[in-house]
Chains A and B, each alone.
Chain A
Amino acid sequence: MKYQPVIGLEVHVQLLTDTKIFCGCSTKFGAEPNSQTCPVCLGLPGALPVLNKKVVEFAIKAGLSTNCSITPRSIFARKNYFYPDLPKGYQISQFEDPICQWGWLDIKVEGEEPKRIGITRIHMEEDAGKLVHGELSGPGDGSGVDLNRACTPLLEVVSEPDLRSSDEAVVYLKQLHQIVTWLGICDGNMEEGSFRCDANVSVMPVGSDKLGTRAEIKNVNSFKFVKQAIEYEIERQIDLIEDGGTVVQETRLFDPNSGKTRSMRSKEEAHDYRYFPDPDLVPLVISNEWIERSRQELPELPEQRQQRFMADMGLPLCDAEVLIASRSLADYFEAGVTAGGNAKAVGNWVMGEITRALNDSGTSIETCPVSPEQLAELLKLIDNGTISGKIAKTVFDEMWRSGKAPHLIVEEQGLLQVSDSGAIEGIIDEIMAANAGQVEEYRGGKEKVFGFFVGQVMKASKGKANPTVVNELLLNKLKG
């Protein structure tokens, strides 16, 4: 029998606010355990939550960017369960009436038709603390609780079970990742857990309309692992069914070392979270004016920008796709074009030299030592024949090192392109005289030798000779 996988993703997006969702403690990563805490996030008796307005603003932006409806009146609920990393014995989340609902993303897996993936809901919630095992300074083999992360704001983005393959899941996830980082509401760091994904996976016979029992795979922290975990899980479930077994609804953990998922020690009982509206928090009412204000503030989204790069700047799809990899990269490119650079050339340089240099030096586009304006100036120097393309690379390296303007470097290092036929003729004469044998060969019909002469002339001019002029003069002279 053939099986059809059915996948839904629940993505936790940690928001880039300065403070926690319900208290004023810092959200900075890496502080000493429990040093960024207060009565509220420690869950001390008597402490009360107050909602961080920025979290709401970020949630609205995420909703508008994923085609969601913003709920005019949403509420917070308590999700009750006991765990040492959950200080209050409940997590403040949203259950009924989440802030965003009914959205979608259009995805396209290479070689397949575009497809619309439904987003059921986006809701706001607080993160739990962190548990550490076996690395404690104290005696015994207990666990340690660090509540610095407790109460950090999260968005949970829940997709419909519309995904049908691991590839679709990864494309969807990458697109969502791009949107939240593009909006500047999440740093997207998967390793540190700022963007983490749970996958609900089930399989059903092809042609069936009855969904199979699903397993939930927890906290898969890279795109690669998402693909691996889903593929493993699909195979595991199919094997299980083929062997006459049944899939049980459970939570499974992906082990990156083995590439397998394993059942999490089953809890004594099924969870009963006993959700109910949190009486400590008041309803969140979002007016149409507020939504419109947020919409005005939204940056141009990656997809729209890609379209514009193609339509207005004439970039091919493959270039446009690369240039919207991040908002800062797209901004850099666009600033280069605005400063007068030719779009295609700026694009090539950004994707080529700049990306290479960034990778080599381990820096990011945000801190690129060469400004887009400087890059545009460099390209102009090539265009108007001041320097050759080859010399431009030398100039670029120097710009990267010193941050100097390209024309200064050209002047200081005497890198001006030589287009003066007299000077070039002189060089050609010398080279022809020194290589009489090759001149004979060329004249005897071996035209391949032409390249050798070009090379020699460029070398002698230290790359400064204008290649067009060289070609022209060389042809004339060799023909005799």
Chain B
Amino acid sequence: MKITVADVEHVARLARLELNLGEKELFAGQMDAILGYVEKLNGVNTEGIVPTSHAVPMENAFREDITKSSIGLEKALANAPDRSGSFFAVPKVIE
């Protein structure tokens, strides 16, 4: 397995990251080393083994359908890098 700069670019696009060429090459090498290392998992027989999502067995955590007060408009928008009236403002979204 060899992680190429093209692989790095694809993943960076998915993750919304922008890397310069130096970073791409660095990451390609490092990811290759790390993914090369994790290949060792292929040596483990996991046939019939159920994957674990939660280490502690748990199920059915619910809340009742009861309204709680919201934090309010000003608090919601307090950290907004840009706002417009009651909205979070973002560059134009084209559909």
User: Which residues of A approach B to under 8 Å, CB–CB?
Assistant: 17-19, 23-26, 32-39, 42, 50-56, 73, 75, 82, 84, 131-133, 136-138, 140-147, 253, 264-265, 268-269, 272, 274, 277, 279, 281-285
Which of A42, A52, A145 lies in contact with B65, CB distance below 8 A? A52
Let me know if B44 is at the binding interface, CB within 8 A: no
Least Cβ distance of B92 to chain A in Å? 5
User: Which residues of B approach A to under 8 Å, CB–CB?
Assistant: 13-14, 16, 53-54, 58-68, 70-73, 76-77, 82-95
What 10 A-B pairs have minimum CB-CB distances, sorted nearest first? A144-B87, A24-B68, A138-B84, A54-B65, A53-B62, A33-B86, A145-B88, A282-B58, A137-B85, A143-B93
Least Cβ distance of B58 to chain A in Å? 4
Closest to A50 in B: B63
The docked-state distance in angstroms from the alpha carbon of A18 to that of B67 is 7
Establish whether residues A32 and B13, one from each chain, have CB atoms under 8 Å apart when the complex forms. no
Which of B59, B68, B88, B89 lies in contact with A19, CB distance below 8 A? B68
Establish whether residues A136 and B63, one from each chain, have CB atoms under 8 Å apart when the complex forms. no
The docked-state distance in angstroms from the alpha carbon of A53 to that of B88 is 30
Main SS of chain B's interface residues? Answer: loop
- Return chain A residues, CB-CB under 8 Å to B90: 84, 142-145
Establish whether residues A142 and B91, one from each chain, have CB atoms under 8 Å apart when the complex forms. yes
Return 16 A-B CB contacts under 8 Å, by A number. Answer: A19-B65, A19-B68, A25-B68, A34-B77, A42-B76, A53-B62, A138-B85, A138-B89, A142-B89, A144-B89, A147-B76, A268-B13, A272-B14, A279-B53, A282-B58, A285-B60
The docked-state distance in angstroms from the alpha carbon of A443 to that of B72 is 87
- Return chain A residues, CB-CB under 8 Å to B84: 136-138, 140, 142, 144
Closest to A269 in B: B13
Beyond A143-B93, A269-B13, is A32–B66 a contact (Cβ under 8 Å)?
no
The docked-state distance in angstroms from the alpha carbon of A284 to that of B87 is 35
Beyond A33-B85, A35-B72, A37-B76, is A19–B66 a contact (Cβ under 8 Å)?
yes
Establish whether residues A131 and B73, one from each chain, have CB atoms under 8 Å apart when the complex forms. no
Establish whether residues A34 and B86, one from each chain, have CB atoms under 8 Å apart when the complex forms. yes
Establish whether residues B73 and A32, one from each chain, have CB atoms under 8 Å apart when the complex forms. yes
Establish whether residues A264 and B63, one from each chain, have CB atoms under 8 Å apart when the complex forms. no
- Return chain B residues, CB-CB under 8 Å to A132: 87
Establish whether residues B62 and A136, one from each chain, have CB atoms under 8 Å apart when the complex forms. no
Which of B13, B60, B92, B93 lies in contact with A284, CB distance below 8 A? B60
The docked-state distance in angstroms from the alpha carbon of A281 to that of B59 is 9
- Return chain B residues, CB-CB under 8 Å to A25: 67-68, 70
Establish whether residues A53 and B65, one from each chain, have CB atoms under 8 Å apart when the complex forms. yes
Least Cβ distance of B43 to chain A in Å? 23
Establish whether residues A53 and B77, one from each chain, have CB atoms under 8 Å apart when the complex forms. no
Known: A32-B73, A142-B92, A144-B90. 8 other contacts (CB 8 A): A18-B66, A53-B64, A75-B53, A145-B89, A253-B95, A269-B13, A282-B60, A283-B59
